Each structure stands twice: as C-alpha cells, then as structure tokens.
Amino acid sequence: MRKSQLDTPHIKQEVIQRLAVGESQRSIGRDIGIDHSQISRFLRRDDVKPFIEREQMRLLEAVPDAVDNIIGLVVEMKYFPEKDTKRIELAYKASVVVLKSAGIIPSPVQSQIITKIYQQNNLVPPPWLQEMLRKHTESLMWKDEEDRKSKKDKTP
C-alpha cells in the first residue's frame, strides 16, 4: 500500500495546524499538492481529531498573551526606538494572527473556530474569555450609544 503524503510527520503537522486555524481544505491541498478530498478524509480520521483539538486549545491558551502583547505594544509604541520597527511589526503581526485564529479579531474563519471548539467539546468558555467578550460587547454598546448621541446632537 502506498504511503500518503499526509503520513509524513512534517506535512501532517502543517495540515493539522492549518486546519486548527480554520484554513480551507482546498487551500491546504493546493499548497501541499494533494487533492482536497484527501484532506477531508484526513480530517475525519479518529486518530487526527485529537491533534486538531489540541492545537485549537493551544491557540486559545495563547490569547491572553497575545492580548497583553498588543496592549503592551500600543502603550509602549511611542517609547520604542525607530530601529526596532521590524521587531514591533513582527510581534504585532503574530499577535493579530493569534487573535484572528481565536475569533477575537474579525476574520472569515473566526466564528467557525470558537464555535467548533466549544460545541464539539461541550465546553463553557473559560472565565477570562467570558470577561474579555463581555468587556468587548460593552465597549461596542458604549460606542454605539455615543454615535447615536452625536448624530442626535448634529440634527437640527
């Protein structure tokens, strides 16, 4: 029996990581050079599912650090020497990727990731995520209220 490319450890790991962040099977298959149906069969394998779930949980665990990183960058940005621009840019991009992957920053796959993780595992979001989402929702409601008031004040 012929060995699949998906049985090669580094390819298997790459596919698992990309599936964990919600990348499409077609995109992964195209980049690796295999048909998306192979990715689909790979995804349905019982021995692969725990690895994808573990990778998704690992991403969620990184969210607080990413949030702290973003806050630190925003607060301290004015104090960084100009020559550190590349480091700042890379740290920011990495944080944004983590936040998008976890569904905190809007992206085409955001709701799929969080929803799948919690539905598949019947989980309740951890308290820190609940609090973060509550604060975000309140800030959006506050901003919406301010926008309505400013529009009301401008109308004759």
pLDDT value at 18 more than 50: yes
Instruction: Please give the backbone phi and psi of residue 47, each rounded to the nearest 5 degrees, phi first.
Output: -75, -15
Please tell me the predicted confidence (pLDDT) of residue 110: 47
Cβ atoms of 29 and 35 closer than 8 Å = yes
Give the model's confidence band at 115: pLDDT under 50 very low, under 70 low, under 90 confident, else very high.
low
Cα separation of 97 and 17, whole Å? 13
Pick from 25-39, 47-61, 64-78: least confident: 64-78
